[in-house]
Amino acid sequence: FLTMMHWSLKRQSSWVQLAGHQGNFQVSKGGEVLKLYSELEAKCLDSLMRDPLRPFVPQYYGLVTRGEHCYIRLEDLLNGLRRPVIMDCKMGVRTFQEEELIKAQTKPNLRSDMYQKMVKVDPSAPTAEEHEQKGVTKWRYLQWRDTTSSTSTLGFRIEGIMMEDGTVQRDFRKIHTLTQITEASFLTSNILGNIRVHVCSQNAYHSRLVDLKDALRSSEFFRKHEVIGSSLLFVHDHSKASVWMIDFGKTMPLPDSKEVQHGIPWVEGNREDGYLIGLTSILTALSQAISLAEGQQEGS
């Protein structure tokens, strides 16, 4: 998504195929983004357009066909912004669906690419059997990734940050605490630089997230869906700041009118995703960062 945002800024004059995304995204001049069609995501977006969460997700304009591919038409969240700073936070205490767990247990499919990613970060992470097979299941990799990041400790993790100059930071695997989150993200002014602008952005983010939390409480969509792999996208430039819910390709409707609370720990079978755990953690980190920044502003 960060790569797509980067190209959105630089190539809004024409339709562009994005390198590295296997045709997943295209961007347009008219303030729209095309994302490769997913039936699950399209259904989610259609429902969200009639839900209290509608102000917090990109506007959904339906489907369009380009060549051999069908795309979801979405609002370009960077349209009109100048030199924005962007942070993508993956929400929840897990990033795998319960169906993936069941499939991995009944029909394990070994992935050599995910094994290599695991070994690159921590050669001791795979078991002796996994080393011998040189492969791990997707569920095993995702579970390992979650437990070695702030996903399991805070209910969210930073996937990437794009700075004003277009550079992207992605390595946040060793961050596990709120203090580390605050220091590593642009929640602190040492990244943005301009303290006055930064305090305004922090307050705008905090207000937006409080409103989002209220909307989540009244959202039927939220109550009746297992929200997995979705992100909060933080975007600001020197004039405004906002937060958006994005990525619903793994968000599953619950069976048999079941509902989830989103704020209690996950155990196999309860479908809980911990989305509200992550949101509460981010709000706490923001409150701490605002106090720090206001102190810096008074000092200057």
pLDDT digits (tens, 9 = 90+) for 22-58: 345 565 556 788 999 999 999 999 999 999 999 999 9
Which pTM value belongs to this model?
A: 0.85
- Residues 273-290 have pLDDT tens digits of 999 999 999 999 888 888
| Phi/psi of residue 189, nearest 5 degrees | -75, -10
Contact 32, 61 (CB under 8 A): yes
**Mean pLDDT rounded to a whole number for the chain:** 83
CATH match for 25-93+155-298 among 3.30.470.160, 3.40.190.180, 2.60.120.680, 3.30.70.2740: 3.30.470.160
Q: Which residue ranges make up each domain of the chain?
A: 25-93+155-298, 99-151
- Residues 95-153 have pLDDT tens digits of 988 888 887 778 878 999 999 999 998 999 999 999 999 999 888 888 898 988 899 99
Angle, helices 195-218 vs 275-299, to 10°: value is: 160
Better-predicted residue by pLDDT, 75 or 295 = 75
User: What is the distance, to the nearest Å, from the Cα of residue 267 to the centroid of all Cα atoms in its chain?
Assistant: 22
pLDDT bracket for residue 83 (50, 70, 90): confident
pLDDT at 296 over 80: no
Contact 236, 201 (CB under 8 A): yes
Residue 215: the pLDDT is 98
The answer for residues whose C-beta is within 8 angstroms of residue 60's C-beta and 6 or more apart is: 45, 46, 48, 49, 72, 73, 74, 75
Query: Average of pLDDT values for 214-239?
Result: 94
Residue 123: the pLDDT is 94
